[in-house]
């Protein structure tokens, strides 16, 4: 779960900062019934210095079906849900400008019927000096809806490493405490030894003075 949230946080970072830079990150492919899910889709322009305009369409093919159905269309700033099965459940989470590079859509209240293939299509126009260029980019997300989130191997390894790190830090703290205690104890012993030597020297000096008095 920690790993899943981290991936979503990273993906959201690209969504929010798509105007400053772009990196094509693949969408997650497993959703939990009753929860929300981010359908990720990023198509970076090859030439950032060229201005452009894009629209994004999402199509859905249910599991076992052959044909796609048109479910969502975004043409800034208008977002349209085009199928009743997704009414009120799709929310645009992509680029908030005409020059779209992130076409992510958030799906609320995922159901088992949402299992299938989602196709994201960018229709982009690049405004070049000689003539405009039209580019179409398609990406697909194979979504599986489960009742309970599966623990991914990476998350399990991360959790194990976290416990190992905690144990290592505890052992290191114990070693440091033992070292400090021994150092303080050694200093205490050395100080007591110096006091004993000083007291012995003073005693001998006092005895010598007494002997001198008797001799006189």
In tens, the pLDDT along 114-173 reads 999 999 999 999 999 889 999 999 999 999 999 987 766 567 677 788 888 888 888 888
What is the value of pTM for the model shown?
0.62
87 and 189 inside one domain: no
Residue 91 has pLDDT above 90, yes or no: yes
Q: Is 119 exposed, middle or buried (0-12, 13-18, 19+ CB in 10 A)?
A: middle
Q: Which residues contact residue 3 at a Cβ distance below 8 angstroms, ignoring those fewer than 6 apart? A: 152, 154, 155, 158
Confidence band (pLDDT; 50, 70, 90) for 6?
A: very low
The total domain count for the chain is 2
89 and 73 inside one domain: yes
CB 63 within 8 A of CB 34: no
Sign of CA dihedral 87, 91, 96, 100: negative
37 and 141 inside one domain: yes
141 and 159 inside one domain: no
112 and 42 inside one domain: yes
Q: 161 is in which domain, residue-wise?
A: 151-208
Confidence band (pLDDT; 50, 70, 90) for 78?
A: very high
59 and 127 inside one domain: yes
84 and 102 inside one domain: yes
170 and 120 inside one domain: no
């Amino acid at each position: 779960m920690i790993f899943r949230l981290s991936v979503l946080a990273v993906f959201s970072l690209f969504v929010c900062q798509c105007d400053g830079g772009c990196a094509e990150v693949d969408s997650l492919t497993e959703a939990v019934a009753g929860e929300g899910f981010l359908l990720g889709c990023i198509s970076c322009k090859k030439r950032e210095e060229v201005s452009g305009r894009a629209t994004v369409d999402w199509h859905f093919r249910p599991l076992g079906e052959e044909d796609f159905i048109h479910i969502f269309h975004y043409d800034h700033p208008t977002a349209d849900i085009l199928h009743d099965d997704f009414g009120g459940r799709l929310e645009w989470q992509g680029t908030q400008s005409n020059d779209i590079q992130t076409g992510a859509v958030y799906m609320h209240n995922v159901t088992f019927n949402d299992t299938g293939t989602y196709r994201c299509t960018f229709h982009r126009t690049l405004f070049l000096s000689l003539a405009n260029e039209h580019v179409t980019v398609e990406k697909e997300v194979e979504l599986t809806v489960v009742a309970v989130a599966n623990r991914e191997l990476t998350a399990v390894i991360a959790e194990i490493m976290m416990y190992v790190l905690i144990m290592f830090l505890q052992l290191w703290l114990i070693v440091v405490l033992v070292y400090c205690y021994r150092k303080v104890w050694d200093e205490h012993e050395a100080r007591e030894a110096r006091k004993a030597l000083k007291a012995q020297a003073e005693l001998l000096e006092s005895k010598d003075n007494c002997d001198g008095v008797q001799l006189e």
